[in-house]
Chain A
């Protein structure tokens, strides 16, 4: 495609799914409720259109000078000269990468959903929400104004709420949806505060202008740091980083394709994207950048420990997602945009694939509990093969996608943050272990589920409409990392060096860094290998007994499986006891007894006083006459006494 994409078509990238949402919810659902599949077709066609346009946008941006297209914008909120909020698009390399990720993964997952959601009574609603989510997510990555970005930021959160609670009749789903929204909104509080601060200090919320102000040094010092930390707080909520990570594991109550799209590949990565989008602000504040790196590095290992012990396959993947998002934050903090986003890019494909695999498995067995699985390798060969590829990829096995981005993060952290580097290395080991624990428990050994049931008497391979997208994602889980073997991906995002393909392929194994005995790639590969080996030893070959190890590390196991008691702390102690039963109940008591009590008290006093005084009004003339005489006597006395 030689020609540059026209401006109208750029807008269409996010308008197509929005249109699909409107058509499904306003036309298809009310008038064609007996033809649910139509909504799937509409939604998939729309996202396919967006995908094609995104590729066109990518090629246009690739060939554009300084990798950027200028798109004219509209006024959204203008109040004279006091405030000007434009609705405009920023079409640069970062947007282009995100567009590809969002449209491609969304396309695959929506195709897969046709099988997974088949027969669901709310099939229309599902595709309406998926379209709305995709539109919002595309808007989020495209807009050029921080406030409008916040609009889409909240909208993806809303879609997440709606889709986690998709099966709202299940109390667990309704609870999880509410929890997700409220916890992420705590982060959004910081984001919005940062927006207010930036507008009051700079007078603009245009992202490009904010960039240049930060680069020029006009926006600096405490203001810059506070703004960056506020923005990062938003990212912490959305990307489920410590200490706001608690919502994501519960979010697994939603349909599995939703987990794959929203809670693995795209929305949760929006926090990482946000930091990348505002990176010049972070770059010019050492404190903010260090905060990003530390929170990221800590979250990576912290979440991985919990992933080690979960028995629900989706929960393992959820903790793995939190951990990998921590890696991305670490990558941003120590390396920059290109490194963090490269891991986001690769992770989107292999993690989406892992979730689709988990969905396929539960489609076959009717459960997410790995203790009820086993032996699925034989009956579900496609699912097994693709899941294995994704697992190898996330474990960071050369030459799969995960290897490349993970190594770049490790490489940059060793120079800048040695402590975080060692934590990240431990995480590499843990990641490989927990992933292959899943692989062996699910696919290895013998089937442990209930074979007598009539529904899914025998586990079976999923239909091809589900398998095909998984195969596509498997190809990407292998190959997406090769885009940066030559350094081309980093170059596109504005950083890094280039080298030849074959040189790049083995570069990590041939260059020893100062301070390390052998090349870094070998170390990470060995650690990952050891993790896989340990998982094999425990869960496949059974050289070691899982029970004995659990008993050996009982306190640790308790700590991990109870999730460090964060849910108890937040939900029970803070929300329920301190706030609802303590503070808020106290205020309510004050309101009804204190303020309203005083009001009613005044009324009662008035009535009571009236009742007492009324007794003087007896209607007896004699009494009144006596009062008059008494009064006259009193007056005369007073006059006499005063002389």
Chain B
């Protein structure tokens, strides 16, 4: 590799954060522009990588690799690389990082710190997606807690300190399990290794282990499950979402929880195929619970952001279904769903943020008839809602139907058709909660108390339009993503005979 593209992508936001934090005398306006530039360039590079990514059959799985020895004593390397699974998530994060800056344009409280933390958050999440070394991966995974804590507890709303602390405790708890799992893996391999690529190619079964492989699998899985989140480890999510500032909600829903889904595929499924297959029925049960239980609880929410947060839990159940159905198509679907959910729910949070900002109201029961006062927002919200309920031509449909088709036809796990059919109920319930939300917020007679409310301004329309264009692009032409994702999935599916 002659040029360290990935390093540049992940560390440019950090450089931006450093400039914002350290250079004295920057005006708020300049800070915003610096943040915009230091997120736009990584976006441009990531799009370039996406275009340059070799999709052909014989191409290398991990591309744009960088490998430098880091701590030789423990065989840790600074090892980066992307495959078909991680590349779309890198692009997504780079995109949301840039859009988050635009979404935060109206932030006026402690602007300097805010943007510094926001950019640090982007670096850490990008780092998780491109690290191929377990230690490096873990460090990025843990760094993310710090900016999240400050972003929620300072710029948040409501019980923000409670939510921020809950987030930190939950994530640290998950992180401890992950660290234990990584150590378990490290001491199991001989010679000790932290390389995801090498470990995945090693047959762990014959190695002497101090703790059973299945236990390591579950340590890691439980840690990742906190992030996805898998019920019952989910209750941090609605609180964090409800109280986080809009842009943070967008990143949280868009990519942060995808770290869980990504890590489950990258580490649990790839390194422990046997345990994965053995415990797939359990995980599929949890997937069905996530989908149906999540949707049922969504239907009872009264806070606009909390409702979207719970719908995320339901949608992550589809990802789980796609992963543990273990067929090639279902795994590709899971990858597609992670991207799709990122743009759809990202847009939902963005536009919910505008509604809340402009009306100063977040209780669904007190909103109503806004389609008259905010026509553009109503259209945008409706489109995002259609995506969330999986209406065809949106990416939501394409992703979910790919998961369903792949899962139902999977012959890796027995009984998977039943789980798939249960998960189908999720799209039925999604229609109910989304349409109810739209009706309560936008339809019905216009209310006089909202007569002063302004519609989306130009900047808001622009970033919403970017989301919408992507939702339809992926919905109408899914192969733009599946052609990439399948190159990353193929070797994983091959572990299960797919």
**Which A residues fall within an 8 A CB radius of B?**
75-80, 82-83, 147, 150-152, 154-155, 158, 161, 165, 168-171, 174-175, 177-178, 181-182, 185-186, 189, 192-193, 195-197, 199-200, 579-580, 583-585, 587-588, 591, 595-596, 599, 603
Contacts and interface: CB of A to CB of B under 8 A. Distances in A.
Given A77-B478, A77-B482, A158 B235 contact: no
B365 interface: no
B392 A155 contact: yes
Given A77-B402, A154-B397, A200-B417, A82 B444 contact: no
Contact of A591 (B235, B425, B432, B478): B235
A334 B386 CA distance: 39
Interface stretch (B30-38, B117-125, B327-335): B327-335
B84 to A, nearest CB: 11
Nearest to B400: A192
Interface in B22-59: none
Nearest to B486: A79
Contact of A83 (B372, B405, B444): B405
Contact of A200 (B166, B402, B409, B431): B409
B404 interface: yes
A197 B407 CA distance: 11
B421 interface: yes
A595 B369 CA distance: 35
A117 B247 CA distance: 42
Interface in B404-445: 404-406, 408-409, 417, 420-421, 424-425, 427-428, 431-432, 435-436, 439, 442-445
Interface residues of B, number: 55
A192 B232 CA distance: 29
A591 B479 CA distance: 38
Contact of A154 (B231, B391, B479, B498): B391
A83 B428 contact: no
Given A82-B328, A155-B393, A174-B439, A587 B297 contact: yes
Interface in B358-392: 369, 371-372, 386, 391-392
B200 interface: no
B435 A580 contact: no
B465 to A, nearest CB: 11
Contact of A192 (B404, B482, B486): B404
B297 A154 contact: no
Contacts of A584: 296-297, 299-300
A471 to B, nearest CB: 37
Contacts of B425: 189
Given A79-B329, A583-B296, A182 B406 contact: no
Contacts of B408: 196-197, 199-200
B487 to A, nearest CB: 10
Interface string B259-297: 000000000000000000000000000000000010011
A199 B417 CA distance: 12
24 contacts: A79-B486, A80-B490, A82-B329, A83-B402, A83-B405, A83-B406, A147-B405, A151-B397, A158-B391, A168-B371, A169-B371, A175-B439, A182-B431, A182-B432, A185-B427, A185-B431, A186-B428, A189-B425, A192-B401, A195-B405, A196-B417, A199-B405, A587-B300, A591-B235
Contact of B169 (A193, A580, A603): A603
Nearest to A147: B401
B453 to A, nearest CB: 16
Given A583-B296, A591-B297, A599-B235, A171 B444 contact: yes
**Which of A76, A168, A170, A186 has the most CB atoms of chain B within a 10 A radius of its CB?**
A168
Contacts of B391: 154-155, 158
Nearest to B390: A154
Contacts of A200: 408-409, 417
Contacts of B401: 147, 192
Contacts of B444: 168-171, 174
B356 interface: no
Contacts, number: 131
Contacts of B397: 151, 154
Nearest to A168: B443
A36 to B, nearest CB: 15
Given A80-B486, A196-B420, 5 more contacts: A78-B479, A170-B444, A171-B445, A189-B425, A199-B405
A79 B332 contact: yes
Contacts of A177: 435
A199 B486 CA distance: 20
B328 A169 contact: no
A597 to B, nearest CB: 9
A196 B422 CA distance: 13
A588 B313 CA distance: 14
Given A155-B392, A186-B428, A199-B409, A595 B235 contact: yes
A76 B478 contact: yes
Contacts of A588: 296-297, 300-301
B446 interface: yes
9 pairs of A and B residues whose beta carbons are closest in the complex: A151-B392, A200-B409, A174-B443, A196-B408, A596-B235, A588-B300, A168-B443, A178-B435, A584-B296
Nearest to A165: B443
Contacts of A82: 327-329, 406, 498
Contacts of A79: 328-329, 332, 402, 482, 486
Contacts of A583: 296
A177 B442 CA distance: 13
B398 interface: yes
Contacts of B498: 82
Nearest to A185: B431
Contacts of A599: 166, 235
Contact of B300 (A83, A154, A585): A585
A152 B397 CA distance: 12
A169 B235 contact: no
